[in-house]
Structure 1
Amino acid sequence: MSTRPLPPALTRRGLLGAAAVGAAGALAACGEDETPLPANEIDAEQVPDYYPAEYADILAASKEEGGELEVYSNTDQENWAPILRDFQKKYPWVEKINASNLDSDEVFQRILSEQATNGSPADLVVSNAAQAWAEYAGGEGRLLAHDSPELAHLPEFALLLPNVYAMSVDPQTIAYNTSLMPEAPTGIGHLAELVAADTGLFEDKLTSRDVGGAFGFTVSRTFTDHVPDAWEHLETLLPLARPETSSGTQNEKILAGEYLAGFFISAAPANPVVANSGGLFEIVFPQDGTVLLPRGIGIAHGAPHPNTARLFVDFLLSEEGQRAVAEGGLASYRDSVEQVEGLHTYQEVVDAVGEDAIIFAPYELVDEAEVDEFTARWNGLLEGGS
């Protein structure tokens, strides 16, 4: 398998989640004539030949850990479903996996609170809140050291921070209700043009992500840092927009028609909504700049099942695991994952917008003064300021 390092300024578009599936319940979820995905061939209880011989000790130790795993995450159950299914095929002694779906920042708030009292049941931490990850991972004794044997077979960005790996690389999209939009937007600039042409139509009918949270701050700031006309477009969009704290809420309200469109919405929770909406809900990768936000995963210090957690991380990074990641609606980044309809990959975004339009969101801690300056400017526009 070939791999290639990606330039440090790449961005990707995210996959949308399943929060709006209930509102789309009357719509067809899967047509009978839909071509099924090729099966993910799982080599049970076997690891690649490039794994070190001592990896057998991790396998043996995992079998003695009770067959359980606790994951604190901000990831929808539809995204997790094929991953957990195939991991349990790979390691059938892991019979119980609990993967939560918390807000991006809540993942860290909960585990920090529990670790402070030495009582966390968490084995793994999963979130794409890059700013929160940078702060959390920088604390002493919060993550278990793990050198994955998969790392040498992955692009350079797969290691986001020490002991924090990229589970997926999710693009941030424009989502819209196809029955209400005058035409399909192609980018943030084009969306601003559509809004400027009929501001009355879009009054309080746009949604953006709340930049008060780590997720919203990171994707929004990354876009403005890399797109020269970003603030000019936002001066048109934000005065008519309402912020939300989760992609799931945004997807649900766009599908229901409360919003016509939303921008910087993660594709991860949105892709299942697209699939289940009967064409009513669509997403696009912005041609003028698609932000790619990796979804980080790390093993919690003091994890009750540390060896099973190591197996899980390595599985996620493997060819088998990345295939399951793509099936669940997250964006896989291994070149070997087949490019077929229904599997979401990094190459899918490159094919749509070109590498020059991809902006990779960094996992770095931004100075508090810079955070305050950015959020004040953004929120000032939301409130109708200039």
Structure 2
Amino acid sequence: MFHDSTNNASSLSRRRVMGLGLLGAAGLAATLTACGTSAGPGTTKPGAAGSGTPSYYPADYSKLMDASKTEGGSLVIYSNTDQENWAPILRDFKAKYPWTKVSADNLDSDEVFQRQLSESATGKAPADMLVSNAVQAWASYATKPDSLMSYDSPETKQLPEFAQLMPNVWAMSLDPVGIAYNSALMKDAPTSIADLAKMVSADTGNYKNKITTRDVKGAWGFSVSHAFTQGNSKSWNSLDEILPQARPETSSGTQKEKILSGEYLAGFFISSAVGYPAEKASGGLVKFVLPKDGTVVLGRGIGITPKAPHPATAKLFLDFVLSEDGQNAVAEGGLSSYRENVELKEGRHTYQEVEKLAGKDAIIRVPYKVVPESEVTPFVSKWNAKLGS
């Protein structure tokens, strides 16, 4: 079963999913089986420029393609997603719709929304789409009036219910958060946060200022850290040991580089979007593992801005990302796709793999809803008070 980070029950094995319309264990299995149904031979309809569309798409879908051509096919995306994650997605989208040209900026988690809001206030907002896995920031932004364009993607009915994170916000991927460590400097692999805590407490001199975690003052850092404490009733037993030896960073990319260089021995609550590619690129020098005492999973939200300059192209892109082809590209780029029929190859990762490696009972899902400031402030204060100097 999934664990909702808002449900602080007595044990991992007894927590139940809440919020977002997430599925129970029985319903989830059936839905995941159905969600990956491939169109298969003979079930696609011819589209413009060789872009066949599944049989469940609207009969007049070609009009959307024509409108995209009229727009010039340009698309501007504000995201907190690395270029290496984007590369296969943009490549395959371009192959399907050759007239398109996509620009995907890589911004800080909070900056995605701050920039969109500030530009919207001036009446000149160039972004067509927003992509981020900063749950708290997404939820806060999406509750504002006229923050997103209303669109009913034809792919929605082919996906599990939890794929739609909020009205007009879908999961581009479902990314786990784990532990990254320098395998040349740590003899044993930490398999859980509790395991890492034991290593740290047994050799505090070696680990002093050698552990990194995300800054909880940022939306992403708060979301994953708060989720873990809500999803694991024994979390603070481990965090009390680790945090005094830890230093915060504002991005997983910075954490990765410093773990690779040896400045840090390990980091916890590292995004898999950085962890998986780092493990591959480093030849295993950086290792990435999913904590068995609680693996936080974040939906990487994607939505269309309310006054997108290129709305037709944005709709094409959203439909593509949610499609079977798009989810294969998502996996190839190092993100975790969630359609059942994603082709599994070395280096690709899926949500089903997360369930297998971490264990279903260890998954902590983060709902897309705003945590009240009355809860945020004391949590941040408690967390930062425990950090080392």
With normalisation by structure 1, the TM-score equals 0.88
Q: Deviations over 1:254-297 (max 9, x none)?
A: 00000000000001022221111122111000011100011000
In 1, Cα distance between the equivalents of 2:274 and 2:187? Answer: 25
Shift of 1:10: 8.4
Percent identity (aligned): 60
Q: How does 1:112-131 map to 2 (within 5 A)?
A: 112-131=117-136
Partner of 1:28: none
Structure 2 unaligned spans of 5+? 7-40
In 2, Cα distance between the equivalents of 1:294 and 1:136? Answer: 16
Structure 1 unaligned spans of 5+? 1-5, 12-40
1:86 matched to 2:92? The reply is yes
Asked whether the 8 Å contact 2:3–2:231 carries over to 1, the reply is no
1:134 matched to 2:139? The reply is yes
Out of 352, 371, 379, the residue aligned to residue 384 of structure 2 is 379
Q: Deviations over 1:148-174 (max 9, x none)?
A: 111111111111011011000110010
Shift of 1:206: 0.2
Q: Deviations over 1:335-371 (max 9, x none)?
A: 0102222111101111112111111111110110100
Shift of 1:134: 0.6
In 1, Cα distance between the equivalents of 2:300 and 2:212? Answer: 22
How many pairs are equivalent?
A: 349
Partner of 2:4: 9
Q: How does 1:1-386 map to 2 (within 5 A)?
A: 7=2, 9=4, 44-94=50-100, 96-383=101-388
Q: Deviations over 1:280-315 (max 9, x none)?
A: 111000011100011000001111100100000010
Asked whether the 8 Å contact 2:209–2:388 carries over to 1, the reply is no
SS of equivalent to 2:4: coil
Backbone CA RMSD of aligned residues: 1.7
SS of equivalent to 1:181: coil
Shift of 1:54: 3.0
In 1, Cα distance between the equivalents of 2:359 and 2:135? Answer: 24
Asked whether the 8 Å contact 1:222–1:361 carries over to 2, the reply is yes
SS of equivalent to 2:53: coil
Partner of 1:36: none
In 1, Cα distance between the equivalents of 2:354 and 2:77? Answer: 28
Asked whether the 8 Å contact 1:177–1:282 carries over to 2, the reply is yes
In 1, Cα distance between the equivalents of 2:388 and 2:2? Answer: 36
Shift of 1:60: 1.6
Paired AA for residue 219 in structure 2: A
Moved more, 148-157 or 257-266: 148-157
1:192 and 1:298, CA in 2 relative to 1: closer, same or farther beyond 3 A?
same
SS of equivalent to 1:97: strand
- Give the structure, 1 or 2, with the largest relative contact order (CA under 8 Å, sep 6 or more): 1
SS of equivalent to 1:268: helix
1:10 and 1:132, CA in 2 relative to 1: closer, same or farther beyond 3 A?
closer
Shift of 1:383: 4.3
1:187 and 1:8, CA in 2 relative to 1: closer, same or farther beyond 3 A?
closer
Q: Deviations over 1:218-270 (max 9, x none)?
A: 01111100111101100000000000000000000000000000000001022
In 2, Cα distance between the equivalents of 1:7 and 1:201? Answer: 36
Shift of 1:125: 0.3
Shift of 1:57: 2.1
Q: Which has the higher helix share?
A: 2
With normalisation by structure 2, the TM-score equals 0.87
SS of equivalent to 1:100: strand
SS of equivalent to 2:337: coil
Asked whether the 8 Å contact 2:80–2:131 carries over to 1, the reply is yes
In 2, Cα distance between the equivalents of 1:195 and 1:366? Answer: 31
SS of equivalent to 1:152: helix
In 1, Cα distance between the equivalents of 2:377 and 2:133? Answer: 21
Asked whether the 8 Å contact 1:10–1:355 carries over to 2, the reply is no
Partner of 2:22: none
Paired AA for residue 192 in structure 2: G
Shift of 1:99: 0.4
In 1, Cα distance between the equivalents of 2:355 and 2:346? Answer: 15
Asked whether the 8 Å contact 2:3–2:363 carries over to 1, the reply is no
